[in-house]
Amino acid sequence: MTTHGVQDRQARKLLRSIDALLMSDSLRIKGPHPIARGARLRFQLRRWHWLIIAVLMLTVLAACVPGSREYMLRRVSWLIVTDQPSVESADIIVVAIDADGAGTLQAADLIHRGVSNRVAVFDDPPSAVDREFLRRGLPYEDRAAVSTRQLQSLGIQNVIQIPRSTSGSEQEGAILPGWCESQGYHSVVLVTSSDHSRRLSRILRRSFHDRQTKITVKSSPYSEFEPDSWWRTRGGLRDGIVEFEKLILDVIRHPFS
């Protein structure tokens, strides 16, 4: 076997290990006893040290092994992207803050399949620029209004807006659990863009921990981010690198979620 063949096999094994670490539920700390928890904490911190080392090794391999570079870049994208199993029914479908038209289309598809009969979108508070347009008397339509109009044009009349004050996925995770409980929703499907799906799944898993509401995160097939070719366009390369950096930061900040 050639040197490149051996390195390619090593790269594939390394990627499978990283993927298993990101998906593993064993990274959560369990056990009430403080000694047991401390031992698990030390063990799991060592596992995350190995994850960081593995990512660095993967970067070196991607640069040095031309034959395996495309395979590794494709696998890296699937560390960013996740799509949880489909559900037959849910109390409501929620379009994520940054899902835009891709989320709207997927929500409409799910409604027409009978998964739910209502959709929620997040309010889009006006920015300083938006307020200046309003002050000058110009028409202004925020993203929530656009999404609502698009959903209604696609035949969905039961559209609800979730109030919020600022933007960002972290705030999305803070708002959604309490809002679902206040509305009496016990099952939710959240539709997001593919490149945000893994990190948003981690955020919501933390937010809904010990809650009564079950949430399922679905990646929209209409997303512009292409997992099998993201590195071939400037926009895809930018989105992939930025989201991978955010995912690694989230893993470092919350290694056990």
pLDDT at 124: 85
pLDDT of residue 25 exceeding 50, the answer is: no
pLDDT at 57: 62
Closest among 115, 185, 186 to 156, alpha carbons compared: 115
pTM beyond 0.85, yes or no: no
Measure CA of the first residue to CA of the last residue in the chain; give whole Å.
40
Give the tens place of pLDDT for each residue, 149-194: 999 999 999 999 999 876 665 678 889 999 999 999 999 999 999 9
Q: How far apart are CA 251 and CA 52, in angstroms?
A: 10
* 107-111 average pLDDT score: 96
pLDDT of residue 35 exceeding 60, the answer is: no
The residue that leads in pLDDT, 65 or 96, is: 96
Give the model's confidence band at 206: pLDDT under 50 very low, under 70 low, under 90 confident, else very high.
Answer: very high
**Average pLDDT of the chain?**
81
**Measured CA distances, 79 to 11, 101, 195, 220, 230 (Å):** 14, 23, 10, 16, 13
Neighbours of 237 (CB within 10 A): 13
Q: What are the structural domains, with CATH classification, of the chain?
A: 3-81+226-253 (no CATH), 92-219 (3.40.50.620)
Query: What's the order of all strands across the beta sheet hosting 159-162?
Result: 159-162, 119-122, 92-95, 187-192, 214-219
The residue that leads in pLDDT, 49 or 157, is: 157
pLDDT at 76: 80
* 129-143 average pLDDT score: 86
pLDDT of residue 234 exceeding 70, the answer is: yes
Q: How far apart are CA 194 and CA 225, in angstroms?
A: 7
Q: How far apart are CA 196 and CA 192, in angstroms?
A: 7
Name which of 27-31, 87-91, 235-239 the model is least confident about: 27-31
The H-or-E segment that residue 93 falls in is: strand 92-95
112 neighbors 89 (Cβ within 8 angstroms): no
